[in-house]
Chains A and B, each alone.
Chain A
C-alpha cells in the first residue's frame, strides 16, 4: 500500500513538473512572440502625415497642427507649420542657410475623395529658423468636405 502510494505520488510530481515546464515554455514563447511583433511593427503614420504631401526638401518644416471647420457653408482649413531649421549637411557638415523659400497649397476633396476644383496656385512662404506660421485655406465650393496640404521648396 505504501509502495502504491509513493508510486502515485511520484507520478503526480512528474505530471506536475511536466505541466509547469509546459506552462513556462508557453509563457516564454508568448513573450518572445510579443517582443518580436513589437520590434517589426512599422512606425505609425499619423493623420497629419497622411494629409500632407511633401515635394522637394521640406524635412525642416514640421506640421504642428491641422484643423478644419465649416464656416459660412465653406470648409476652412488651418495648418500650423514650423521651420525647426535645416540640419547640417550630412557629408560636409556645413550649416545650411536658415531662411528657406517654400510653396504651399491646399487640395480640396469631396465625400468620394474626388478633387472638386482645379489645382490652386502655389503660394510662396518664407520661413526662417524657428519661425512658425498658421496657413489658412478656404474651400472654393461647398462641395469640398476634406482637404490635403501640399508643401514644396522653390529656388
Chain B
C-alpha cells in the first residue's frame, strides 16, 4: 500500500513538473512580435441587379435575365393576350440537364412572381405546394375548431388551364487557356386539356473564363 502511495506521489510530482516545465525557446522574440491581427472584415451592400461575373456557373444575372426574357415573351404571346380573363396557370418542373446543381425552382418562382405582378396571369398552386394546401383545408375542416360560415370549403379548388415546364442545359468546352459555358434555357406553356404547347421561348447565355 505504501509503495503504491509513493508511486502515485512521484507520478503526480513528475506530471506537475512537466506542466510547469515548458520554457519558451525565444521569449524575447515572442514578446516583441505579437501575432498579426486578423484582416478586417468588410461588409457592404451591393446592387442586387448588377452584372455578376464571379464564376462561370449559373448566377444571379443569369437567373434575372432568363426570368425577364421568359416573362416578357409570355406576356406578349397570343395565348395570354387573347384570353378574356387572366388565364389560370400552374408551375411544373424545370428539368436541370446540366452538371451544375442549379435550383430550378428559383427560376420558376421568379417567373411566377413577375407574371403575377403583371396582372395578366393567375396561378394555381403547384404540385410541390399541394401538401400545404391540403394541410390547411384539413385544419379548417377536420379539427372542429372553426366556425362553419368562415371555413374554406373543400372541393372548391380551381384547376389550371396551362402549366409551365422547361429545361435548362449546357454545353461546356475547355482547353488550357479558356473555358466556355453555353447555357440554353427553354420554357413551354402547355395546355393541360389538349396537351398542345401554346407558347415556347428560349434564352441563350454564353460565358467565357480566361485562365
Contacts and interface: CB of A to CB of B under 8 A. Distances in A.
Interface string A122-155: 1110000000000001111110000000000010
Given A74-B75, A140-B71, A140-B72, A154 B81 contact: no
Given A117-B117, A124-B61, A138 B72 contact: yes
B119 interface: yes
B49 A119 contact: yes
Contacts of B93: none
A103 B49 CA distance: 10
B75 A140 contact: yes
Nearest to A101: B51
B73 interface: yes
A138 B76 contact: yes
Secondary structure class of chain A's binding surface, majority of residues = loop
Interface in A33-85: 71-74, 76
Nearest to B206: A126
Interface residues of A, number: 22
A20 interface: no
A97 to B, nearest CB: 14
B46 to A, nearest CB: 12
B65 interface: yes
Contacts of B51: 101, 103, 122-124, 154
Nearest to A119: B49
A120 B110 CA distance: 13
A72 B78 contact: yes
A141 B117 contact: yes
A139 B68 CA distance: 10
A121 interface: yes
Contacts of A137: 72
A140 B117 contact: yes
A22 B98 CA distance: 88
B64 interface: yes
Interface in A105-126: 105, 117, 119-124
B34 to A, nearest CB: 37
Contact of A138 (B49, B61, B64, B73): B73
Interface of A: 71-74, 76, 101, 103, 105, 117, 119-124, 137-142, 154
The 7 A-B pairs at the shortest CB distance, nearest first, are namely A121-B64, A138-B72, A72-B81, A121-B49, A72-B76, A154-B51, A141-B118
